Amino acid sequence: MNKKLFTLLLSSLFALHSNAQGWPSNYDGVMLQGFYWDSFGDTKWTKLESKADELSKYFDIVWVPNSGFCSDHNNMGYLPLYYFNQNSTFGTEAELRSMIKTFKDKGLGTIADVVINHHNTNGWFGFPAETYKGQTYQLHSTDICRNDDGGAALTQANKDGVQLSANNDTGEGWDGCRDIDHKSANVNKVVKAYEDFLINDLGYAGFRYDMVKGYSASYTADYNTASKPQFSVGEYWDSSTNIKNWINGTKKDGTPTSAAFDFQFRYRVRDAINSHNWTCLKDNTSDAAARPLIYDPAYRQYAVTFVENHDTEKRVSANQDPIKSDTLAANAYLLAMPGTPCIFLKHWQDCKYDLKKMISIRKLVGINNQSTYVNMACSNEYYAVLTNGTRGKLLCVVGYAPEKYTANTSLYTLVTEGKGYRYYISNELVADWVTTLDGIDAEQKAEEDEQANFKPYSVNVYVKADFTPVYFYVWDSNNNTQLNGNWPGKLMTNSTVTINGETWYHQTFEIKSYGYYFNIIFNQGSGKPQTTDIENITSDRYFEASLTGTTITYTDVTATTTIDNVEANANTSAPVIYNLMGQKVKNAIPGNIYIIDGKKTTVRF
C-alpha cells in the first residue's frame, strides 16, 4: 500500500478509537447502513461478518438494526420487547458478539440502532422483566406516558385498573406501542443500563437513535453522557431548523452530544433527480428550514448525510418518495461533500465497483465532515462542486451531461466517471490514485472470475426433530420461487437417513448460480407450529428442532456435528450414495470411498 494512503487510513482508525463524544470533528470516515427493510438474509450477523475484510477497506462504521429480541418471527427491531436478550431475527447473541469483535479487529465500528422512544408489551401493559449482572430491570405501567396513543392507553388503564405515569410525553406521540416516560427514574435506570451493556459489554462503538422527535433532546444528552459512545446520530425527521434545535438540545457543557441525519440534503438530491434540474444542489436558498446542515459550517460536523435509507426507500408520498434513477450521480455527490456520508446497503450491493472508487478518492483527497467547498457551476444538465480536502481537491460533476462542464477541468485530472458523474482530482495525487485503483480493479477481477468460474453444486439440509410430522417449506433467492410447493411444503416422512444411529430428515438442493441461496422453515403443517425463517443457505447444514408449546425452536449444529456412520433410508428403492462427510451425491467418483446403502464401499474404476 502507498505510504501516504497508509498514513491516511491510520488517521481514520485513530479517529474511530478516540474518546470523542457525539461526533468527532474533522472526521473522514464513511458509514454503511448495513440493512434495508426486510433484509433478513443480507443482514444476518454471520453474513455481515463474512464481508468484514471487504467492508473494512472502504467503511469506518457500520449501522446495524436493533439487535434485541422482538418476536419469534421476522422483525426489523422497531417494536422492541427486550433490551438485554440479544437473540434477534438477525442472529444469536454469540453471532452478534463475533461480528462486532471481527469488525473492531479490522478497524470497523458497529453502530447500534437504539429504539427507546417506545417499547412493546405483552398485552397493553405487560413489560417483561430482565436480569443482567444479577440485577432485574423492568418497565412498569407507571413508566408509560399519560397521553400515550392520544389517550387510548389511559382509557385502557382505567378499564384494567392500572396506573400510568402522571407525565405527558415530552415529544411527539407514536401509536405503534407504548411511549415511555423519560422523566421516570426507572426508565432512566433501565435505559442507562441498556446502553452501558451495548457499549461496554457487547462492544458497540455508538448509537443511531430512532425517532428522537418522540422525547426531549435533553435525555439523549443524559444517556450519551452516561454511556460515552464514540458516535451518536439521531433520526430527527424534520426541517433543518428543527434538526439544529434538536442538536443544540443534546448539548452537555456547551457541546452537542449527538449528530443528526441531514434530511434536507437527501431532499435536495431527490429533487435534482426527479425534477431533471441539477440547480437544486446549488447553495442559494435563504430558507433555513430547507437548507441542508452541511451548508452551515457550524453544523457540518454533526451532519450525517445520505441519499436513501430503509424508510425513504419504501415510502411514496411527495416528501418521501425513493430515488428511482441516477443512483451513481446521487452517491457521487454524497461522497464529494462534507458531513459524514452514510451509504445505503442496496446501493453498495448494486454499485459496488463505482462506490469503491468514489470512497477511495474521498479518502485519498482527505475530505472530512468539516471540509469546505465551492459551487463551480450549475445548470439543469449538470452541477459542479470543488471540495477542499486535507491532501488535495476533488472536482465533482454530476447530472445528465457532466461531460458538458469543461471550465477548470484542465487544472485537474479525470480519474473516474460513470453514468451521471465525473471525478477530477489534484494532479499531485494521481500517482497514489493509480496504485489504489490497481487494488480495486484486482478485487473486481477476482469477483468477476469467481462468478465466471462458478459451477452448480449440491447442498444437503438435515434436521433431527423431536416431533412429527415434519414438513420442509423452502423458497429461494430467484424471485422467492417455492422449491417444495405451497405452504406447508413437503412432508418428509420417507426422506430420512440414519446418522450415528439417529434419524435425521433430509433433502438435497442445488445451488444453481453465483449468489443463489435458499431459505427454509421446518413446520408441522398448516396452522401448526413452525420455526422462524432460516435464510441464506448455501452449504450443508445440520439442525436440531424441538417443539416447545406452540413454537418450534431450532439450533444450527453444523459446526458440532461429527459423522461416523450414515445409513440410507430403507424406503429408498434406488441406491443412495453419501460421501464420508454425510453429503448426498449424485455420482460416485471411481477410486473414492462412499457410503452406499449404509455400507462403506470403494468405487472401482
43-82 pLDDT, tens digit per residue, is 999 999 999 999 999 999 999 999 999 976 678 999 999 9
Domain holding 499: CATH number? 2.60.40.10
Q: Are 15 and 82 members of one domain?
A: yes
Q: Are 270 and 131 members of one domain?
A: yes
Q: Are 87 and 181 members of one domain?
A: yes
pLDDT at 139: 98
User: Domain of 297?
Assistant: 3-430
pLDDT at 560: 83
Residue 284, C-alpha cell as written in the block: 442559494
Domain assignment present for residue 233? The answer is yes
183: β partners: none
pLDDT at 74: 74
Is residue 370 within 8 Å of 402, Cβ to Cβ? no
Q: Are 426 and 463 members of one domain?
A: no
pLDDT at 18: 40
pLDDT at 479: 82
Domain assignment present for residue 445? The answer is no
Residues 6+ apart with CB under 8 A from 258: 22, 23, 209, 220, 221, 224, 232, 233, 234, 247, 250, 302
- Going by the DSSP 8-state scheme, the letter that residue 4 receives in this structure is H
pLDDT at 525: 96
Domain assignment present for residue 163? The answer is yes
Q: Are 171 and 230 members of one domain?
A: yes
Domain assignment present for residue 51? The answer is yes
* Domains identified in the chain, total number: 2
Is residue 188 within 8 Å of 215, Cβ to Cβ? no
pLDDT at 71: 77
Residue 93, C-alpha cell as written in the block: 447473541
Q: Are 160 and 307 members of one domain?
A: yes
Residue 42, C-alpha cell as written in the block: 443480507
Q: Are 236 and 343 members of one domain?
A: yes
Q: Are 234 and 111 members of one domain?
A: yes
Q: Are 380 and 478 members of one domain?
A: no
Give me the residue label for grid cell 402522571. 166
pLDDT at 556: 86
pLDDT at 484: 96
Domain assignment present for residue 494? The answer is yes
Domain assignment present for residue 442? The answer is no
Domain holding 355: CATH number? 3.20.20.80
Domain assignment present for residue 437? The answer is no
Q: Are 366 and 301 members of one domain?
A: yes
Residues 6+ apart with CB under 8 A from 187: 139, 143, 180, 181
Boundary (domain end) residue, out of 389, 411, 430: 430
3-state percent helix, strand, coil for the chain, nearest multiple of 5: 30, 25, 45
Is residue 186 within 8 Å of 137, Cβ to Cβ? no
Q: Are 258 and 315 members of one domain?
A: yes
Domain assignment present for residue 153? The answer is yes
Three-class SS of 426-441: EHHHHHHHHHHHHHHH
Q: Are 106 and 207 members of one domain?
A: yes
Burial of 130 (C-beta count, 10 Å sphere; 0-12/13-18/19+) = buried
C-alpha neighbours within 13 Å on the C-beta side of residue 71: 12
**Mean pLDDT, 10 residues at a time, the chain of 605 residues:** 42 42 92 94 93 98 96 83 94 95 98 97 94 97 97 96 97 91 98 98 98 97 97 97 98 96 96 92 87 96 97 72 88 98 96 98 98 96 97 97 94 97 98 97 93 92 96 91 96 90 93 91 95 87 92 87 66 55 59 56 47
Give me the residue label for grid cell 462403506. 600
